[in-house]
Structure 1
C-alpha cells in the first residue's frame, strides 16, 4: 500500500460499542479496502465488549464474577492482559485504582440494574473481605483465574482504553500511516497528519451540562484519557453522587478534583491512571504523577489547573 502523502485521503469510520460509539479518523491511499477496515475495527471493539462488559450477562468478566470461590475460570488472552494491568496499576497507585468495586458501584445505583434514587440509602455498607490483589489469582500461562473471596470486578475504568488500543492495533495492521481512534473521550493517535501537524484533541472543561473545550491537546503516537465527576452522577436528595468510587473508603468519590487527563503510550494506561489520579486527589495525585514522570492535567473544582502535558 502506497504511503505517498500526496495520495492520502482523509476518511472516517464509526460504529456502536460499549453503550456508546467508536470513531476513527485517518489518512489513507485510495486503494484501501474501507469495508474490510470497518469490519476489523468493529470486530476488535466487539471482542473487548463481549469479554469485559459488566452489562452483558454472558461476558467473560461476568462468568468470572459469577463463579464460586476457589474455582478456576478460563480467561481469554485480552481479558487476562487487562486484569494483569489492572492489578499492577492498583499496586502502583496504592489501591486508588481497584477493579474490585463492582458491588460498591451497584450499591450506589450505578450498576447494571440501578436502584431508584429515592430507594438508595445515604451510605450503603459494602463489606470488603479482602483486597482485590488478595482475592483474585491469575494464572496467565494457562489463561485462567479464580477468586479466593467474594468479588465483583468492574473494568469500566480501563476497558474502553484497552478497546482504543485494539483499534490502534487494527490501524497498524492495515498499514495506515496517520490515524486518530477513540471511544468517548479515550483517544489514541498514530503518526502525524500528512502536512506534518499533530492531531488535535479538545480538553473538555469539566462543567456539568456544558460541552466546551478549555484547551487543545496535541497528539502524535500518544494516547489520552480523562476521568471526571461531571458526566456520570446521580442526585440523591440534596447530595450529588459521583459514579467514581473511592475503593479505600467504600464511598463515592468526594475531593477537590473535577477531572484528570492523562497522556501515555497506550490508552489502557491513560484510562486507568486518569481514574487512579482522580481518586488520589489534588495533592497525592499530582505528586505521584510527577514521581512517575507521567504527563497529566488536574482540574480542580474551582477551575484551577495543575500540570500540563
Structure 2
C-alpha cells in the first residue's frame, strides 16, 4: 500500500525540548516501517522489557492493518474486493466498514473532492502500483478512468450477520491510501490503551494521536513543517492532546512529465492533478482517521472552497498557500484553540 509523503513531524521531544524549563526527561521511542511509510511510538513509564514486547505487538498489528488495506498486495482484503467483479454484497471486517463509512461521509461533505474510488486515476497518473506514464494522459484516457470511479457506486451495508461492501460497477477500484495512516494511528492508540499505557504519542506517516503528558510532564506537541525541503523548518506548533492530526501536502511527492510538475493529489472531479496554489492542509479532529479524510478533501478543493467547508463544518484547519515568492497561512477559529505559543 502506498501512503503518500506527508508534511507533519513529531516535535514534542525534538524541536521543542529547549522551550521547557527544568530538567529534561526522554521518552521511550519505538520505530519501524509500515504501509510504505514509517511508524513511531513515544512512551512514558515503560521499561526495556515492556518496550521490546510492545514493539513486536505494534509491528504485528500494523502488518495486519497493511494486509487489510493495501493496494500493493493482491491478496489483501481490499484488493480481493477490488478484483472481484461481483456486484453482490461482499463481506468485510467491521474495521473496513468503519473506514469506508467515514470516507463516504467526508466525500459527500466535500462534494466528491475526497473520493476513495479514485484509484484508476491515481494509477493512470503513475502514483499507484502502475509505473509512471511516459507522456501526459490524454482526455480519452482520463475519461475512461473516470468512468470507473464515483462514490455513488459504493455502499456499506450493515446487517445482523455482519458488514458488507457493495459496488454497482464491476470494475470499481477502492483505494484507501488517503485514510490508511489515520486508521493505523488510531489503531495504535487503542493498542496503547489496551496495554495500560496512558502517556503516549503515536504516528503513522503524517497521522498522529497523543494522550497524557510527555516525559517532562508537558503536553505532547506537534510541529507543522514549512513547505520547504528543510526537514526541521517549523511553521506552527500545536498541542493535540486527546485528538488526531493529519497533514496533506502537494509539494513533496511529485514527478516531472512533459516539462510540468505532476502532483500526487488528484482531483477526482477533473481526473487531473491539482493545479491551485494550496500546498498544505492540516486538520485536527477527534480521530486521526477523520483528520486524514478531511485533509485530503480540503487539499483537492483549494484554498477558498476549503475555507468555506471548514467554516461550514466547524473544522480545526490550518492551510498554507503559495503567494508569489512566499506563502500565506490561514487557520479556522477551532484550530487556533490548539495553537501553542513557542515562548511558553
Q: CA RMSD in A?
A: 2.0
Name the CA distance, whole Å, in 1 between partners of 2:121 and 2:295. Answer: 20
Count of aligned pairs between the two proteins: 300
More RCO (CA 8 Å, sep 6+) = 2
Name the CA distance, whole Å, in 2 between partners of 1:137 and 1:218. Answer: 36
The match for 1:78 is: 95
Q: Deviations over 1:209-252 (max 9, x none)?
A: 33222222222111111001112111102211111111111111
Q: Tell me by how many angstroms 1:258 deviates.
A: 0.6
The match for 1:252 is: 273
Distance change in 2, residues 1:184/1:131 (3 Å): closer
Structure 2 stretches of 5 or more lacking a match? 1-24, 336-344
Distance change in 2, residues 1:120/1:284 (3 Å): closer
The match for 1:3 is: none
Q: Tell me by how many angstroms 1:272 deviates.
A: 0.8
Query: Which residues of 2 match residues 279-298 of structure 1 at below 5 A?
Result: 279-298=300-319
The match for 1:33 is: 50
Q: Tell me by how many angstroms 1:31 deviates.
A: 8.4
The match for 2:84 among 67, 77, 82 is 67
Distance change in 2, residues 1:166/1:200 (3 Å): same
- Kept after mapping to 2: 8 A contact 1:67/1:73: no
The match for 2:165 among 145, 150, 157 is 145
**SS state at 1:24 partner:** strand
**1:171 has 2:192 as partner:** yes
Name the CA distance, whole Å, in 1 between partners of 2:258 and 2:135. Answer: 11
Name the CA distance, whole Å, in 2 between partners of 1:181 and 1:305. Answer: 26
The match for 2:331 is: 307
Query: Which residues of 2 match residues 11-30 of structure 1 at below 5 A?
Result: 11-30=28-47
**SS state at 1:290 partner:** helix
TM-score normalised to structure 1 length: 0.91
- Kept after mapping to 2: 8 A contact 1:157/1:275: yes
Distance change in 2, residues 1:35/1:195 (3 Å): closer
Q: Deviations over 1:146-173 (max 9, x none)?
A: 2111311111110111000000001111
**1:89 has 2:106 as partner:** yes
Distance change in 2, residues 1:169/1:97 (3 Å): same
Q: Tell me by how many angstroms 1:119 deviates.
A: 3.7
Q: Tell me by how many angstroms 1:11 deviates.
A: 0.6
Q: Tell me by how many angstroms 1:195 deviates.
A: 4.3
- Kept after mapping to 1: 8 A contact 2:68/2:78: yes
The match for 2:230 is: 210
Structure 1 stretches of 5 or more lacking a match? 1-7
- Kept after mapping to 1: 8 A contact 2:154/2:168: yes
TM-score normalised to structure 2 length: 0.82
Name the CA distance, whole Å, in 2 between partners of 1:289 and 1:191. Answer: 28
